[in-house]
């Protein structure tokens, strides 16, 4: 265990004591958000991201140790275990290395080598490998012809009969070829050479056929330099049968390396061993090395894509809410009409309808009349327009519409990714049983503006649509990663236990789907919860779940003012002592005048001294002070607010050199897509992000950021706009 902890500490560049504490807490069943927030003293303040990475590596390394034990046991049972094998297994750092060592000892299916061994040709293969025998090999091979010793039935059996000298020698060489292929030392060196020098080559299957993969129709790139998004693009192109992919290896170096190790000077065996080494490489080693390298490159590319997707999803989930506004959700479409839903500031549906301002009906006047009536009637402040089909036409219509409104109305373009998935879901049917599926999408779009987190947790994280190749990557890993991202986001913000939906509650630390539904049921039957302790009355929510979830649940009008904060019940007594010590009371955090005095007083506290007096950790005390300074504060308030628009911009309006303000919609390996208010998002390539060299666009921007950009090129034919962030 210490070895595993030591490896994780080195990889994550943290102390071994931090790893030990985190592992202990994870093994005790604590959730990552709980450990990150309420066990900072134990872990030395490790973040949720680091803890998740630690958890993943812990799982991998434990599986690795288990596999090592299984391999050693299996080789020992075969009576073939040596100190050399034990040492090789012990120093292996990956499952692939362990499997390479185990390869010669695996129960094999029928191969040319196993057939040759069954014919008794292994001693002959050893003679050839030793290269000492002066007697011509043909003479020696005659001893292995067994046709005269077999009965009539076995004489016809190719797997048993050795009829000729050539057959005997070939069988012996087949055994040598397989042994070369199974040699873990050779495989390790071949992979090392390939990762250093091999080139990935892509060719078109049909050269004159148009596709998204034309840049790969005749391309070569060194494996060590190829970025992950290109690996995934190549994989997809191959899967869709537009591309043929080949790995060009440093074959001469590989063959020379094996020959040097096997061939001992010029003998009668030299040429046949050279040919056997080539056969082993071409027939056995190369295909499996190809599979391993492709699999390894894909795995690393998927990890990167999943990480990027997770970062983008987190930013989207933590987008600033627009509170206290009545919002009209506008779900654009052509033939079927634009779906409209009006939501009040609490998220309640006030009105819904369908209008037809777009093709083919073009009923602009009728749509304007109906929507202006709704704007007045429901006192609408904002219009949230989905960014899908017919979005820009709808935006132009809305921009004209609000010019005619007596109210001060603005509009915002909102990502509608996953809205249709939600509309048809069981959850949406439960929420709005009497509302048409198509209208539910407009409700979701409006609510995303009011509270992105509460709305987006209702959708499968994969459908949020802020990644790259999310449908091509390992779906289980993607799902696990995104679930973690959603959990961290929900617990960072905190949840009002009296208004939250089961979807939102189910992501709270310690709460599963069953408990989430039980909380809502308890709330419906008994009215609002008055304090966190009352959670213990909820069926299936025991002491363990209570400890994990209590600090993340908020009770806004309850018995204890501390319950509008993230202060955990285990720290209530300490918090009250702290307040009394500086001359305040718990109730003061809800009194505006007293709160200002309290905030000033909290700034003067000597953390080190006070932590000793109160017998708590400095990190815990710092967190308590922060919560008391801003009770009930939503951390998303620090996030950039959506850009409110009142007029529309067309591609024709753009000129090179124009400076615009836009919203980052997606961050990928090679840049970021920016919504600047035209039909298609503009692209800031990674090379146009900073004067300094950057490895990844996420060093500079995140989804939801509001950025200033300069137009550097306009491709009207392809409707593409190139942007730059340099020197602005």
Note every long-range contact of 570-573, with CB atoms under 8 Å and residues 24 or more positions apart, other chains counting. Answer: 570/38, 571/616, 571/620, 571/624
Q: Is residue 277 part of a domain?
A: yes
pLDDT at 703 over 80: yes
Q: Is residue 13 part of a domain?
A: yes
DSSP assignments along 438-494, one per residue: HHHHHHHHHHHHH-HHHHHTTS-GGGG--SSSTTTS-HHHHHHHHHHHHHHHHHHH-
Separation between Cα atoms, residue 380 and residue 374, nearest integer Å: 8
CA atoms within 13 A on the CB side of 607: 11
Q: Tell me, what's the pLDDT at 634?
A: 85
State pLDDT tens for residues 459-516: 887 777 665 667 788 888 888 888 899 999 999 999 999 999 999 999 999 999 999 9
Q: Tell me, what's the pLDDT at 308?
A: 82
pLDDT band at 728 (very low <50, low <70, confident <90, very high): confident
Q: For the chain, how are helix, strand and coil distributed in percent, rounded to 5?
A: 55, 10, 35
Residues contacting residue 462 through CB under 8 Å, at least 6 positions apart: 470, 471, 475, 478, 479, 482
In this structure, the strands spanning 706-715 and 720-724 are antiparallel
Mean pLDDT, residues 514-533 taken together: 95
Q: Is residue 497 part of a domain?
A: no
CATH of the domain at 710: 2.40.50.140
pLDDT at 306 over 90: no
Beta-sheet strand order (sheet of 382-386): 349-355, 338-343, 327-331, 382-386, 410-414
User: Taking Cα atoms as reference points, which of 133, 131, 165 lies closest to residue 146?
Assistant: 165
186 vs 419, more confident: 186
Q: Are 211 and 284 within one domain?
A: yes
Query: Residue 177 corresponds to which tokens in the numbers above?
Result: 């070829």
pLDDT at 174 over 90: yes
Q: Is residue 120 part of a domain?
A: yes
Our count of domains for the chain comes to 4
Q: Are 78 and 121 within one domain?
A: no
User: Taking Cα atoms as reference points, which of 76, 72, 73 lies closest to residue 98?
Assistant: 72
Query: Residue 324 corresponds to which tokens in the numbers above?
Result: 């206290």
Q: Are 133 and 166 within one domain?
A: yes
Beta carbons of 67 and 95 less than 8 angstroms apart? yes
Distance, CA of 703 to chain centre: 15
Q: Are 156 and 218 within one domain?
A: yes
CA distances from 130 to 91, 112, 126, 273, 614 (A): 29, 21, 6, 11, 77
Q: Is residue 399 part of a domain?
A: yes
Other C-beta atoms lying within 10 Å of the C-beta of residue 304? 19
pLDDT at 547 over 80: yes
State pLDDT tens for residues 202-251: 999 988 888 888 889 999 999 999 988 889 999 999 999 999 999 999 99
125 vs 665, more confident: 125
Separation between Cα atoms, residue 519 and residue 513, nearest integer Å: 10
User: Taking Cα atoms as reference points, which of 189, 67, 168 lies closest to residue 122?
Assistant: 168
Q: Tell me, what's the pLDDT at 442?
A: 94
Q: Is residue 343 part of a domain?
A: yes
Q: Is residue 707 part of a domain?
A: yes
In this structure, the strands spanning 495-496 and 553-554 are parallel
Q: Are 198 and 285 within one domain?
A: yes
Give the domain extent around 62.
2-88
Mean pLDDT, residues 93-116 taken together: 90
CATH of the domain at 177: 1.10.3500.10
Backbone angles phi, psi at 386, to 5 degrees: -65, 145
- Domain boundary (401, 420, 450) is at 450
- Domain boundary (428, 450, 472) is at 450
User: Taking Cα atoms as reference points, which of 353, 344, 341, 351 lies closest to residue 326?
Assistant: 344
CA distances from 421 to 33, 466, 726 (A): 28, 15, 38
CA atoms within 13 A on the CB side of 257: 17
Q: Are 281 and 150 within one domain?
A: yes
Q: Is residue 17 part of a domain?
A: yes
Record the pTM.
Answer: 0.81
CATH of the domain at 394: 3.30.420.140
State pLDDT tens for residues 16-35: 999 999 999 999 999 999 99
Q: Are 130 and 251 within one domain?
A: yes
Backbone angles phi, psi at 64, to 5 degrees: -65, -45
Q: Are 154 and 76 within one domain?
A: no
Beta carbons of 70 and 101 less than 8 angstroms apart? no
221, β-bridge pairs: 200
What distance, in Å, lies between the first and last C-alpha atoms of the chain?
52
- Domain boundary (25, 54, 88) is at 88
């Amino acid at each position: 265990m210490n070895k595993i902890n030591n490896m994780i500490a080195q990889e994550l560049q943290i102390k071994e004591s931090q790893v030990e504490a985190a592992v202990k807490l994870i093994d005790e069943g604590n959730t990552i958000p709980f450990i990150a927030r309420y066990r900072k003293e134990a872990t030395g303040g490790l973040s949720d991201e680091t803890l998740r990475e630690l958890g993943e590596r812990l799982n991998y390394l434990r599986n690795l140790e288990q596999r090592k034990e299984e391999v050693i046991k299996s080789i020992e049972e075969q009576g073939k275990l040596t100190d050399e094998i034990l040492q090789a297994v012990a120093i292996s750092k990956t499952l692939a290395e362990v499997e390479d060592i185990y390869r010669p000892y695996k129960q094999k299916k029928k191969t040319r080598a196993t057939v040759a061994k069954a014919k008794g040709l292994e001693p002959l293969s050893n003679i050839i490998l030793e290269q000492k025998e002066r007697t011509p090999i043909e003479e020696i091979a005659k001893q292995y012809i067994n046709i005269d010793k077999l009965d009539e039935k076995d004489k016809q059996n190719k797997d048993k009969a050795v009829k000729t000298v050539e057959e005997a020698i070939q069988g012996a060489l087949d055994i040598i070829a397989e042994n070369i292929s199974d040699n873990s030392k050779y495989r390790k060196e071949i992979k090392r050479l390939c990762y250093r020098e091999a080139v990935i080559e892509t060719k078109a299957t049909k050269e004159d056929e148009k596709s998204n993969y034309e840049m790969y129709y005749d391309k070569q790139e060194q494996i060590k330099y190829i970025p992950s998004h290109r690996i995934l693009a190549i994989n997809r192109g191959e899967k869709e049968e537009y591309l043929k992919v080949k790995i060009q290896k440093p074959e001469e170096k590989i063959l020379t390396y094996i020959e040097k190790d096997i061939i001992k000077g010029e003998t009668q065996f030299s040429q046949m061993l050279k040919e056997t080494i080539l056969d082993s490489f071409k027939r056995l080693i190369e295909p499996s090395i190809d599979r391993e390298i492709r699999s390894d490159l894909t795995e690393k590319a998927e990890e990167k894509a999943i990480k990027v997707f997770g970062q983008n999803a987190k930013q989207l989930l933590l987008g600033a809410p627009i509170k206290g506004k009545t919002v009209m959700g506008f779900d654009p479409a052509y033939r079927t009409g634009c779906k409209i839903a009006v939501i009040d500031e609490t998220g309640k549906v006030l009105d819904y309808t369908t209008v037809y301002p777009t093709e083919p009906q073009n009923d602009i006047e009728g749509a304007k009349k109906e929507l202006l009536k709704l704007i007045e009637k429901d006192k609408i402040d904002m219009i949230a327009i989905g960014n899908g089909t017919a979005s820009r036409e709808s935006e132009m219509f809305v921009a004209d519409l609000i010019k005619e409104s007596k109210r001060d109305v603005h509009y915002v373009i909102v990502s509608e990714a996953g809205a249709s998935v939600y509309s048809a879901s069981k959850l949406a049917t439960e929420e709005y049983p009497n509302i048409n599926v198509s209208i539910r999408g407009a409700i979701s779009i409006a609510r995303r503006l009011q509270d992105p987190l509460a709305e987006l947790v209702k959708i499968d994280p994969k459908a949020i649509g802020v990644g790259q190749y999310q449908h091509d990557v390992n779906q289980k890993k993607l799902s696990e990663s995104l679930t973690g991202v959603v959990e961290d986001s929900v617990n960072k913000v905190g949840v009002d236990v009296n208004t939250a939906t089961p979807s939102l509650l189910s992501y709270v630390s310690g709460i599963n789907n069953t408990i989430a539904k039980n909380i809502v049921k308890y709330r419906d039957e008994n009215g609002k919860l008055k304090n966190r302790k009352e959670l213990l009355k909820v069926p299936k929510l025991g002491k363990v779940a209570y400890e994990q979830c209590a600090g993340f649940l908020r009770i806004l009008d309850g018995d204890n003012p501390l319950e509008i904060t993230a202060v955990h019940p285990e720290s209530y007594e300490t918090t009250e002592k702290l307040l009394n010590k500086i001359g305040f009371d718990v109730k003061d955090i809800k009194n505006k005048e007293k709160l200002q005095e309290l905030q000033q007083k909290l700034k003067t506290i000597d953390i080190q001294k006070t932590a000793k007096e109160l017998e708590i950790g400095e990190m815990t005390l710092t967190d308590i002070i922060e919560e008391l300074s801003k009770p009930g504060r939503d951390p998303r308030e620090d996030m950039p607010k959506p850009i409110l628009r009142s007029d529309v911009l067309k591609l024709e309006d753009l000129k090179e050199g124009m400076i615009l303000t836009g919203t980052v919609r997606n961050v990928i390996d090679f840049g970021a897509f920016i919504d600047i208010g035209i039909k298609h998002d503009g692209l800031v390539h990674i090379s146009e992000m900073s004067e300094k060299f950057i490895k990844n666009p996420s060093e500079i921007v995140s989804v939801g950021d509001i950025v200033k950009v300069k137009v550097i090129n306009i491709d009207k034919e392809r409707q593409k706009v190139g942007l730059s962030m340099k020197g602005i």
